[in-house]
Structure 1
């Protein structure tokens, strides 16, 4: 009877250890979820105006979620941009950009980017993001090259946060916003500054 008791005890201890080990492994490799901080996230576009100068505008309302598993060098990014939040500093121009001639914000209120793969260097630092960019209902592949990526604990939030800067180039005619090409350049550079706070 004593032998049976000890066998049963050992069995339960082993089962308990395996269960704890599985939980630890799962938590160790689970992706951390970060929510976009709209106060520190901006999307900027740059284009050539009649070859005279490079002009810039931006979108002031951005939202989304980033998931990162730095240990396994995986993750995902979902960014949503309010098309009606376009801002150039000129009200008449802003209204024109919101119209059907350009973004048609009434019919297509959201510009979206959804990642398909994240690329990391040997130090688990995010270097580029491949994904799909949707503007005016048209979805095309886009690759954002990062110039900066950092994560740290933020005393301001009492939580961890990650931030990044990056850019990509697109042809606006690919997204049905090619009005005034070639006088206003077809090629547009998209920049972003993003910060996200861990849930």
Structure 2
């Protein structure tokens, strides 16, 4: 082997070794059967009420090597589940979610912040009842691994933020019914 062939062979070997570090972003589809946005608020100071949305769709793009990502979530606001059918209708009314005019809520990320290999914050825009406001989700747990049953790459996370419902035109009965609402999301997504 001459010098040129040896150099070319060494280059090919080093590029092959570096290939895993150049991994491309992976797009994950939200698993609606394991993804539930929840919201909680003070009810006259008596208790903290907890409700959820039953239908969520969207995608997450995650690139572990580059430490980048994006999140695009759509929540069916009509799928609100308070545990009581009459109250579900009340929450969907004009004073709160107004689902007749605004059937969905969305979150679209603008930045994902990493600490080490894991995302710890996701900045983005929450649109609720036709109003868009910037919010930051704090990620409390994150997992990326092959799904043990589906045998495909999967991710999961838990995250939360706190908003004022009055900022979204849904402030009726505040301050008696708490204006601050904590939104938690338990998310699982499977590679496309």
TM over 0.5: yes
Candidates 154, 164, 171, aligned match of 1:171? 164
Find out whether 1:88 has 2:82 as its counterpart. yes
Distance in 2, Cα, partners of 1:54 & 1:165: 20
Structure 1 stretches of at least 4 aligned residues deviating more than 2 Å after TM superposition: 24-29
Candidates 174, 183, 186, aligned match of 1:181? 174
TM-score, length of structure 2 as denominator length: 0.89
Find out whether 1:78 has 2:72 as its counterpart. yes
Gapped runs of 5+ residues in structure 2?
A: none
**2:188 counterpart residue number:** 195
**2:103 counterpart residue number:** 109
Distance in 1, Cα, partners of 2:54 & 2:32: 8
Distance in 1, Cα, partners of 2:56 & 2:92: 16
**1:142 counterpart residue number:** 135
Distance in 2, Cα, partners of 1:167 & 1:155: 26
SS of aligned partner of 2:33: helix
Number of residue-to-residue matches in the alignment: 184
**2:27 counterpart residue number:** 33
Cα root mean square deviation, aligned: 2.2
Deviations 1:122-147 (A, max 9, x none): 2x111110000000010000001011
Deviation at 1:29, TM superposition (A): 3.7
**1:128 counterpart residue number:** 121
Deviations 1:37-89 (A, max 9, x none): 00000000000000111111110000100001110111100011000000111
Deviation at 1:156, TM superposition (A): 1.0
Gapped runs of 5+ residues in structure 1?
A: 1-9
